[in-house]
């Protein structure tokens, strides 16, 4: 048989993530019911937290949100080119050279300083359009946003603008996912003080949004008009330290397969640096994924995976493209067996939070760190499908 070099073969990598679209919908509806009458502004930045930007955005758009939130102009442009028509807020810092692109793609921009108002007015006026703007206030995060003492000047300038429409005023929490509520309550109070601007001047109040996932779970007084859940929509709680007041379940399973099983004699080290050496004869299996796929090197000699419904330790240093697991001296593990990195197998479950603890990080980093060479496969929703080794643009 002669292969046509112009046609890419359809391949199916053993290492992949599976996304349950029905579970994503269930998580969305659970959060939506919990925050009503506030509306939803789902966050789909960073490839929808590793779940696939375009596929997840399409799903959430079908749920009827107030809009979608991304981090960068480029993410918003990908969604527009994929046919997403609902409002999209770009939450990242505004590079004023990109303002014409914001206007072209009809994306709402975040404004954090009065210095941005002039360039917005100029670009929108030149193009004969109106820029959609969300003013951001730094109520305690110390990152993006105008300081509270400068908020009045910024709001005055935006309301005077002929070519900018102030759609919303928002802020972001620093500690809403922590048990101590002190700073969060202080941020809520600061935010209320800033947005009192409109009532004091007898002006219509624009859309107000403040709550992230942590605040959705434990600060209902922060809901206002919209909430911006991110991680919890994907079925992962930000931390185990706060109440789980909304029932959600993970939508992502990360899996691979055993590609090699071999006897490892006592005293024979495994992997780079010889950081692990068995003190007994045992059996080692190789899994074809590594830090090049987003499985952190910090998991070396720390993580566990599921094979045949049992936990097995990762041994030796994680390599770029593979890692090793001790299956044990008397094992029934075989080449071709399913390996679960995050997810459930039998009665055992490994969560993103558990992997994060082993890697000394947070579940956000674990999920968004799954790289683009790991295929995303989708089930549920309108139909089951996969991307054949490709992932949605991130």
Q: What is the pLDDT of residues 365-389, one digit of tens each?
A: 999 999 999 999 999 986 444 443 4
Give yes or no for a contact between 302 and 327, defined as CB atoms under 8 angstroms apart.
Answer: no
8-state DSSP, 8: P
| Other beta carbons within 10 Å of 373 | 15
**Domain end point (choices 234, 268, 302):** 234
Q: What does the pLDDT read at residue 217? A: 98
The secondary element (H helix, E strand) that includes residue 27 is: helix 21-35
Annotation marks residue 291 as catalytic: no
**226 and 140 inside one domain:** yes
**39 and 152 inside one domain:** yes
Q: What does the pLDDT read at residue 383? A: 45
In a domain, 133, yes or no: yes
Chain mean pLDDT for the chain? 94
Q: What is the pLDDT of residues 13-66, one digit of tens each?
A: 999 999 999 999 999 999 999 999 999 999 999 999 999 999 999 999 999 999
Query: Annotated catalytic residue: which of 45, 136, 223, 364?
Result: 45
Q: What does the pLDDT read at residue 381? A: 81
In a domain, 43, yes or no: yes
How many domains are there within the chain?
2
**176 and 107 inside one domain:** yes
Of 108, 76, 109, 107, residue with least CA distance to 94: 109
**pLDDT of 91 strictly over 90:** yes
Query: Annotated catalytic residue: which of 223, 262, 272, 291?
Result: 272
**259 and 121 inside one domain:** no
Q: What is the mean pLDDT of residues 247-270?
A: 97
In a domain, 380, yes or no: no
**227 and 182 inside one domain:** yes
8-state DSSP, 182: H
Q: What is the CATH number of the domain that holds 174?
A: 3.20.20.10
Q: What is the pLDDT of residues 123-141, one digit of tens each?
A: 999 999 999 999 999 999 9
Q: What does the pLDDT read at residue 98? A: 97
Give yes or no for a contact between 132 and 143, defined as CB atoms under 8 angstroms apart.
Answer: no
**259 and 229 inside one domain:** no
In a domain, 247, yes or no: no
In a domain, 360, yes or no: no
**257 and 138 inside one domain:** no
Q: What does the pLDDT read at residue 183? A: 98
Residue identified by tokens 């041994």 is: 315
Q: What is the pLDDT of residues 316-340, one digit of tens each?
A: 999 999 999 999 998 999 999 999 9
The model carries a pTM of 0.92
Q: What is the pLDDT of residues 210-229, one digit of tens each?
A: 999 999 999 999 999 999 99
Give yes or no for a contact between 146 and 135, defined as CB atoms under 8 angstroms apart.
Answer: yes
Q: What does the pLDDT read at residue 207? A: 98
Of 58, 24, 44, residue with least CA distance to 394: 44
User: What 3-state DSSP class applies to 209?
Assistant: strand
Of 66, 82, 75, 83, residue with least CA distance to 101: 75
**pLDDT of 5 strictly over 80:** no
Q: What does the pLDDT read at residue 9? A: 56
Confidence of residue 8 (pLDDT cuts 50, 70, 90): low
Q: What is the mean pLDDT of residues 196-210?
A: 97
**54 and 118 inside one domain:** yes
In a domain, 357, yes or no: no
**146 and 271 inside one domain:** no
Concatenating the DSSP letter of every residue in 54-116 gives: HHHHHHHHHT--S-EEESSHHHHHHHHHTT--S-EEE-S---GGGHHHHHHTT-EEEE-SGGG
Q: Which two tokens stand for residue 340?
A: 């679960």
**193 and 261 inside one domain:** no
Structural domain that includes position 309: 252-350
Confidence of residue 392 (pLDDT cuts 50, 70, 90): very low
Of 137, 68, 136, residue with least CA distance to 105: 68
Q: What does the pLDDT read at residue 390? A: 43
In a domain, 221, yes or no: yes
Cα distances from 30 to residues 43, 142, 226, 353, in angstroms, run 16, 31, 15, 20
**165 and 301 inside one domain:** no
**Domain end point (choices 202, 234, 266):** 234
| Other beta carbons within 10 Å of 107 | 22
Q: What is the CATH number of the domain that holds 338?
A: 2.40.37.10
Q: How far apart are CA 275 and CA 146, in angstroms?
A: 49
Q: How far apart are CA 296 and CA 357, in angstroms?
A: 12
Annotation marks residue 45 as catalytic: yes
Q: What is the mean pLDDT of residues 108-121?
A: 97
Confidence of residue 357 (pLDDT cuts 50, 70, 90): very high
């Amino acid at each position: 048989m002669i292969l046509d070099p112009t046609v890419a073969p359809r391949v199916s990598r053993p290492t992949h993530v599976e996304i349950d679209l029905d579970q994503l919908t269930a998580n969305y509806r659970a959060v939506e019911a919990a925050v009503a009458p506030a509306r939803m502004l789902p966050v789909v930045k960073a490839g929808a937290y590793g779940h696939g930007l375009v596929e997840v955005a399409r799903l959430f758009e079908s749920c009827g949100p107030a809009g979608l939130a991304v981090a960068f102009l480029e993410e918003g442009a990908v969604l527009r080119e994929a046919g997403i028509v609902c409002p999209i807020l770009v939450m990242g810092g505004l590079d004023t050279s990109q303002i014409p692109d914001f206007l072209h793609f009809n994306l709402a921009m975040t404004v954090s300083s009065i210095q941005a108002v002039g360039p917005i007015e100029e670009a929108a006026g030149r193009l004969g359009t109106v820029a959609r703007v969300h003013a951001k206030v730094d109520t305690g995060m110390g990152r993006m946003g105008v300081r509270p003492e400068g908020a009045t000047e910024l709001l005055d300038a935006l309301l005077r603008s002929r070519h900018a429409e102030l759609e919303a005023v928002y802020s972001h929490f620093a500690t809403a996912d922590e048990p101590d509520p002190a700073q969060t309550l202080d941020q809520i109070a600061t935010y209320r003080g800033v947005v009192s601007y409109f009532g004091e001047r007898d002006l219509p109040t624009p859309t107000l949004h403040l709550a992230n996932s942590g605040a959705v779970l434990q600060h209902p007084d922060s809901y206002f008009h919209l909430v911006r859940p991110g991680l919890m929509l994907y079925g992962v709680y930000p931390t185990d330290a706060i109440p789980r007041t909304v029932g959600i379940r993970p939508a992502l399973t990360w899996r691979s397969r055993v590609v090699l099983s071999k006897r490892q004699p006592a005293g024979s080290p495994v992997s780079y640096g010889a950081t692990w050496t068995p003190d007994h004869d045992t059996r080692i299996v190789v899994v074809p994924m590594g830090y090049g796929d987003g499985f952190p090197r910090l998991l070396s000699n720390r993580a566990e995976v599921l094979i045949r419904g049992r936990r097995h330790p990762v041994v030796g240093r994680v390599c770029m493209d593979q890692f090793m697991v001790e299956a044990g001296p008397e094992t029934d593990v075989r080449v071709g067996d399913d390996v679960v990195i995050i997810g459930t197998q039998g009665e055992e479950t490994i969560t993103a939070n558990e992997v994060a603890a082993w890697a000394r990080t947070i579940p956000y980093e674990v999920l968004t760190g799954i790289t683009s060479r790991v295929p995303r496969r989708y089930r549920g929703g309108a139909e089951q499908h996969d991307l054949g080794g490709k992932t949605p643009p991130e």
